[in-house]
Amino acid sequence: MQWGRLQVDVNCQLRRGAWYRVKQVASLNAVLDVNRQLLAVPHYLIEVISAPPRRWSVVPRPQNARVLPHDWGAAYGVCPSCRERAALRGRPRTMECRRCRGQFEIAWDEAYLAD
C-alpha cells in the first residue's frame, strides 16, 4: 500500500498536506482514493511513500486561503490519520488530533511546499 500527497502548491481537489491512499501509479497519472472517490492526478504533482504517514504535515498558509482562520498564522497542521487541519500554537513536539484523537509528532523538519 502507498500514500500520496501534493508536492506542488496548486489548487485541486486535494487538501494541502493531507495523505491519501494511492490506488495506482501510471506513467502520467496517480490514482488516489479521495473520500471514497477515485481521483486521477498528474503523477508529478504527488509525493508517494510506502509507509503510512505518522507525523503532522506543517503546511504554509496559501495566499488565497479563504476558510482558514486568520489567527492560525503563517502555517497550520494536517493530521496524518484523518486529514483534519489544526492551528499550530507554539512549537510543540507532538499534538493530539481533536477529530480522530490520534497523538502524532509534528514534522517541523520538513520543508513542505517551501519555495
67-115 residue pLDDT tens = 899 999 999 999 999 999 999 999 999 999 999 999 999 999 999 998 6
Encoded amino acid at 114, one letter: A
Cell 509528532 maps to which residue?
A: 105
**Amino acid identity, position 36:** R
pLDDT in tens, 46-75: 999 999 999 999 999 988 888 899 999 999
- Asked whether the predicted pLDDT for residue 27 surpasses 90, the reply is no
Would you list the domain boundaries of the chain? Answer: 2-49, 55-106
pTM, whole model, 2 decimals? 0.92
Nearest to 62 by CA among 15, 4, 108: 15
